[in-house]
Structure 1
């Protein structure tokens, strides 16, 4: 998912349960209220329509207020709307989900038809869902996305009100883990059709079937509330009555609000992150999230030149950037896929570390080699100079990051870089519409498999905003999802080779794997964090 992103921790092959028991002195605003939690986000909710959401802020709000078939509890996949974790039949191609009794917040029952409607709506090209590609592998999905068949032909059906059946073209080993992504959540057809274009634009035009109900969100506001859903099927295990969320873009403001007891969880960067390292409440948590520069090869054809892209990458001193700008525990990556996401099925070696054996040379800092490659690339493209705009968010850390990159990259002869800082929603829209030369973007894992990162940069993927393209890369990704899908070793090698191609050609330029610095109220217990980079507030409690 697209980022601004929050608290997270990784352990082993995926993400371990996160039990936040920080030590320290915050006198929280909820010190006399053991049922309310106050946290921050870096920006606003873009939408509450699960078919079109792409960013992690909106995704978290959907995970808080909705239930799909499954839900992560730490690294454990558990049934949610489904009554159990399903073992596929028909050589791994048929999933039959029996649904539990559950209600929407308007009193309607949650039925199999709600899933059929939501999935067919999401894959319909008219909906313009960027996550539609996740449906690939379901019968007719690829033809629907290509406009060759109607969305109504998707291989899903409601056998009865409580039985939802999905038929795949071929076995997909990670299919179950994808069910936690909001694009696979059910939707109440009556509510969606009544709201029309207003669906998901404010808290009055949505319904919930999850742990909380969204309140006081007008579509653009910098604060909102999530109130316990008393009709939630698992309400007995929802211990919090309310979650207050406030948008805070400045880390000094975040620290001040935490220290004054108005925030229970503050995200810090820069000087505040450095200052917090000696505080008792501090937690530094590594996420399955990679920040990267994306270059628009369609808008600026010179950026199709591999040497120019490699020169930009080698101009960046990632360690210095982390130490001087972020001032946290983030990691300099050697490729797109972050550390501790997945392990070799045969040897147990971490994917990122195994891939680094052939890719690390392309993300090293080498100013001399960068200038040499840059000069060669300019000659090959018959241009003498490039004037580029760097698109970024308007948060404090994004502004400081872009200024660092501007200073570093303008050492390349003939490169002039201007900065455009815009609100998060604007950056998303401009990125999706190809209205950028270079953009600072990020991706967080949707499930614990390298494909959740690598799939994005195939030639036809809707997230490939920079339009980098490589036929060998496309084939490797297709093979990993097709002919090699049930051969773990062959599939692993496909993904390693794909990462090597992407990194060698710098189809995107990885900058850092994020490890956020947080100040967290010591009263929180059993708050878990998933491989999909999402909090799970079910079972969390304040003591």
Structure 2
């Protein structure tokens, strides 16, 4: 039974939430991390909002018309949506936002998601002006998008933050400061961000009184606190200062039978990425030896203990299936993501011989939260124990620093991860093309590039062929050991039993707090 705002006590209109990592930005064009994405998705809004089971539901769009050939989408927008600066939300805000994102000067890591929209590829590669993108405003409240080819997952994309509208007046007013703090932003969603300075560990989402559907927003406020130690956050949870907290492995094992225990399964694969500009890591046998030397079952059961699962490759389980076969089963090769100590030692010896050395020193980069620290410590132990002559130095840094170092190639090995932006395998396999913006290890394979191009081009309308392209691509990642897939993340957490109405999705925007309330 729905609870209306009127019968919820004022004291229970506040939710206290814990995060393990800082927010990075409020700029939809530049967002890359999950925390920022969730905050943007709850303080702003696009054409669709992700409902239960990642189903796109109308948000700013009231209706969608698709041409017979599937290449033209016409979105009719609601007329009562406003920005927090008083401006109306119009079709032009989408045109401006999308052009800004694909403009190479913006350097958006997510601009590649626009591929398939008319002229996007040429714009991203600086061959055409950003003004030639296939998006236009037909009056104030009609948005027309022209595609070059069918995009099977186009509607799912429209619920993702990078496709949200942006207010040109605000972007130009704030300049380089836009999105770097709560005050350098305008909002059109259920909440507004308050108190985020750009680097602090606490902020709030406060109900947006200008939001078109404010009657369905039950919470007045959500407070956020970044706590990298789950011991600290669990203590705050127990004392009633937090309504939710993430757990480490020990806590998860102890609390898994508690009625307030939840496991947030994610369409996220964590992996070890090799910097293949380094001579030692260009060697395939060295990479393979590292992958075979890691006992993933022990990692998920003993080190993590939070419901995380072993993987068969890059693409997570339960994301997509074809003819009754889950992609994770189809991509399995028996290489790249399995533990085989005999093979590891043999390949390691051969790899060292090819390099003409008897020992190697490698650095391992990871985040500075408790879970990442425990994983990097475990990896260091496994690799040094199993591979004779290898020494691994670990560096745990704030997530922002890890991302920056990864992008600039300042690493040997990095514990990284990818959460699907939408429920389709392409969201994973598209990352490792030669010029992919998230291909920080600089792995390159022409066959792989061609498979991804076919899945997004010539085979886009042929479900069977497209599926085959993506399966082969994922298998190639395993066989060439482009990365070492480690585990599919599940975050163990405690959530107070009186917190209701939160929509959680494994892919894309994860937490939708619009209809949340405290009973």
TM-score, length of structure 1 as denominator length: 0.91
Matched, 1:302 2:280: yes
Q: Does 1:385 align with 2:363?
A: no
3-state SS of paired residue (1:425):
helix
Three-state SS of the structure 2 residue aligned to 1:362 is: coil
1:304-343 equivalences under 5 Å are 304-343=282-321
Task: For structure 1, list consecutive stretches of 5 or more residues without a partner in the other structure.
Answer: 1-18, 20-29
The reply to whether residue 486 of structure 1 matches residue 461 of structure 2 is yes
Match of 2:446 among 445, 449, 471: 471
Tell me, in whole angstroms, the C-alpha distance in 2 between the residues paired with 1:77 and 1:278. Answer: 33
Report how far residue 93 of structure 1 moved.
1.0
Instruction: Tell whether the 8 Å contact from 1:287 to 1:533 is kept in structure 2 after alignment.
Output: no
Larger mean CA deviation between 373-382 and 462-471 belongs to 373-382
SS in 2 for 1:160: coil
* Partner of residue 458, structure 1: 433
1:349 aligns with 2:328: no
SS of equivalent to 1:78: strand
**What SS does structure 1 have at the residue aligned with 2:61?**
coil
Cα distance between partner residues in 1 of 2:9 and 2:381? 45
Aligned-residue offset at 1:394: 1.0
CA contact (8 A) 1:265 1:520 kept: yes
User: Contact 1:335–1:360 (CA<8 Å) still a contact in 2?
Assistant: no
TM-aligned CA deviation for residue 293 of structure 1: 0.6
- 1:163 and 1:516 mapped to 2: Cα distance? 40
Determine the C-alpha separation between the residues in 1 that align with 2:84 and 2:157: 25
The answer to whether the aligner puts 1:154 opposite 2:133 as a matched pair is yes
Q: Within 1, Cα distance between the matches of 2:251 and 2:11? A: 28
- 1:31 deviates by 9.4
- Give the counterpart of 2:120 among 141, 153, 168: 141
Following superposition, which runs of at least 4 residues in structure 1 exceed 6 angstroms of deviation? Answer: none
- Which runs of structure 2 are paired with 1:172-211 in the superposition (5 Å)? 172-211=151-190
| 1:503 counterpart (474, 478, 481) | 478
The counterpart of 2:387, out of the listed 408, 412, 416, is 412
1:239-258 to 2 correspondence within 5 Å?
239-258=218-237
Residues 484 and 490, structure 1, Cα contact 8 Å, conserved in 2:
yes
Q: Distance in 2 between matches of 1:157 and 1:442?
A: 35
Q: Does 1:53 align with 2:31?
A: yes
Task: Give the aligned partner of residue 26 of structure 1.
Answer: none
- Tell me whether 359-368 or 132-141 shows the greater mean CA deviation: 359-368
Indicate the SS of the match to 1:113. Answer: helix
Q: Which structure ranks higher in relative contact order (CA pairs < 8 Å, sequence separation ≥ 6)?
A: 1
1:293 aligns with 2:272: yes
Structure 2: give runs of 5+ residues left out of the alignment: 2-7
User: Deviation of residue 87 (structure 1)?
Assistant: 4.1
From 408, 412, 415, give the equivalent of 1:433: 408
The SS at the match of 1:60 is helix
Residue among 396, 399, 404 paired with 2:370:
396
Q: In the alignment, which residue of structure 2 is the partner of 1:36?
A: 14
Instruction: State the match for 2:5 in structure 1.
Output: none
Residue matched to 1:3? none
Residue 56 of structure 2: aligned partner: 77
1:323 Cα shift? 2.0
Question: Aligned to 1:226, what secondary structure does the other structure show?
Answer: strand
Give the drift of 1:414. Answer: 2.5
Structure-2 separation of matches of 1:32 and 1:64: 21
Deviation at 1:219, TM superposition (A): 0.7
Cα distance per residue 1:128-184 (max 9 Å; x no partner): 100010011111111111111111111111111111111111111111101122111
Report the count of equivalent residues. Answer: 509
| Aligned-partner Cα distance in 2 for 1:268–1:518 | 5
CA contact (8 A) 1:445 1:533 kept: no
Question: SS in structure 2 opposite 1:397?
Answer: helix
Aligned residue for 1:27?
none
Q: Which residue of 2 aligns with 1:10?
A: none
Which residue in 2 is equivalent to 1:9? none
8 Å Cα contact 1:444-1:533 kept in structure 2: no
Residue 7 of structure 1 corresponds to which residue in structure 2? none
Q: 1:114 aligns with which of 70, 93, 98?
A: 93
Q: CA deviation at 1:326?
A: 1.0
Please state whether the residue corresponding to 1:360 is helix, strand or coil: coil
Decide whether aligned partners of structure 1 residues 243 and 275 sit closer, same or farther in structure 2, where only a CA change above 3 A counts: same
| Other structure's SS at 1:321 match | helix
Q: Map of 1:521-532 to 2, 5 A cutoff?
A: 521-530=496-505, 531-532=507-508
Decide which moves more: 372-381 or 128-137: 372-381
In 2, the alpha carbon distance for the partners of 1:378 and 1:31 equals 67
Distance 1:137 1:333 in 2: 30
Q: Secondary structure at the match of 1:134?
A: helix
For the 8 Å contact 1:288–1:533, the answer to whether it is kept is no
CA deviation vs aligned residue, 1:472-515 (integer Å, no higher than 9, x gap): 11111110110110111111111111111011112111111012
1:372 deviates by: 0.5
Does the C-alpha gap of structure 1 residues 323 and 97 become closer, same or farther in structure 2, counting only changes over 3 Å? Answer: same
After superposition, what is the alpha-carbon deviation per residue over 1:166-216, rounded to whole angstroms, capped at 9, x for unaligned?
111111111110112211111100110110010001111100000100001
Q: What's the RMSD between the two structures over aligned residues?
A: 1.5
SS at match of 1:33: helix
In the alignment, structure 1 residue 92 sits paired with structure 2 residue 67 = no
Distance (whole Å) between structure 2 residues aligned to residue 154 and residue 433 of structure 1: 29
Q: Contact 1:63 / 1:534 at 8 angstroms: preserved in 2?
A: no
